[in-house]
Amino acid sequence: MRFIRNSFMWGVLCGAFIVMALYGGSAVAEQFARTIAVHQYPVSFYINGEKVNPKDTRPGYFFNGKAEVPLSFIYKGTTYVPIRFIGESLGQEVGWDGNSYSVWVGDKPARFLKSSEAPNQPSVVEESSTVYGIRTGDSVDRVREILGNPDRRDFSHIGVEWWIYKKDPEHYMQVGIRDGKVETIYSNGTGWQYEKVKMGMTLDRLTQIWGDPEAKLYITDSFRIEQDGGGEKLIYKKNGRVIVLYLDRLDSNKVRGIRVSTPELFMRTVPSGFSYAYRDPADIQLPELTEQERARAESSYEKQMWDLTNVIRYRHGLPILQYNDQVAAIAKSHSQDMYQNNFVSHQSPTTGGLMDRLKRSPLPVSAFGENIAVGYVDAIDAVEGLMNSQGHRENILNDYANEMGAGVILRSNASYTHFYTQNFYYNQNR
């Protein structure tokens, strides 16, 4: 069977930097030894907001398994703390290998495992293939164990239920669940790391670690993606998972977000900007939705656009925006208008311009802005795309608005598919 080709698509202590000096064993070569003068002060330690103290030692000291040693000292402005104290305070095992002068916290590295230990240890690669401890294939019980209950559960048009974790903008996360298992994960928070790639990494550093993405990447034997490696997103396949890395084209192509999916889900949710070819149309078949289900998915994506915008604003040191249902109603009406009348513009043939729409609403006339987009698979794809357009980015990072609303229409007409409108409003009463 031949491939069917699809055309190109668009669409630690908080607040302190701690350096832990690792000195171990008396076998350090003589040429590395020297005498230094340090200052020893009584330092209090807090982890996750709670004070921690060493057990069964004098104040200011720590028993390292062999002797009492200073709990901390200061040398040239840097505070040094025994890594065993930090590790054990976090409930992690701390180990030392005197032959290679290596130390570890948590799981013992594979290179130091005895053959009898190896079968019972998780692989190093597999342990790093997570976003905030979660990987595709995990059970909902595992998700709850690691992340707790979600702040919101969103219906989607792609066959997963999105579990939204939004209370901490630095660790914002969406986990897509189907049949009790994780099928997809997304984060644009600041703290994620996935197989040595992390938020804010440059494109050059990324390709040093992972290499260049394949120009023709086979997701399965019957489905391939074509990419030139120079766009806003890069797609890799690693350990049976498909990883989309979102790049900030307007900030030196730094890595800005990550989405990890099973191959089966990825084939149904190819992000904008990629051509793909397939043999079996069933590979890309999305669930058929009732009108009620479509409305639920649209509402989910409207709230996700709000969440994602606020995470981005938080990263840039800007105040978060409150959601205004009346602003959202203006946005929804414009998306519906673009769908029904087959156009993409801020100027409508039926409702006029942006200020015309505002004046007809119950809202007082005030500062108002608008982003529109079409052709994106979902809210994640849309907001990531908007941030790579200078004018849309300026709206998202504006300093004039204190509220926003979004309107999404998940339909296709003769020319376009999926319509997104995002409105920003200054409420003078806030």
Residue type at 273?
G
What is the pLDDT at residue 6?
Answer: 52
- Taking only the tens place, the pLDDT of each residue in 98-138 is 545 577 777 667 555 543 443 333 333 345 789 999 999 99
- Taking only the tens place, the pLDDT of each residue in 227-242 is 865 579 999 999 999 9
pLDDT > 90 fraction of the chain, expressed in percent and rounded: 64
Identify the band that residue 16 occupies on the pLDDT scale cut at 50, 70 and 90.
very low
For the full predicted model, state whether its pTM sits above 0.85: no
- 175 neighbors 143 (Cβ within 8 angstroms): yes
Interval 410-420 mean pLDDT: 91
Residue 101 or 44, more confident: 44
Range in 46-60, 140-154, 283-297, 344-358 with the lowest mean pLDDT: 46-60
30 to 26, 33, 34, 98, 209: CA distances (angstroms): 10, 5, 9, 15, 35
- Taking only the tens place, the pLDDT of each residue in 340-384 is 999 999 999 999 999 999 999 999 999 999 999 999 999 999 999
- 405 neighbors 323 (Cβ within 8 angstroms): yes
Q: What is the 3-state secondary structure (H, E, C) of 234-295?
A: EEEEECCEEEEEEEECCCCCEEEEEEEECHHHHHHCCCCCCEEEECCHHHHCCCCCCHHHHH
What is the pLDDT at residue 414?
Answer: 79
Mean of all residue pLDDT scores within the chain = 83
- 329 neighbors 361 (Cβ within 8 angstroms): yes
Structural tokens at position 401: 């608005």
Residue 259 or 101, more confident: 259
What is the pLDDT at residue 159?
Answer: 96
What is the pLDDT at residue 74?
Answer: 74
CA distance 420 to 416: 11
What is the pLDDT at residue 56?
Answer: 56
CA distance 391 to 51: 47
- Residue 287: CB partners within 8 Å, gap ≥ 6? 157, 158, 159
Structural tokens at position 173: 């996360």
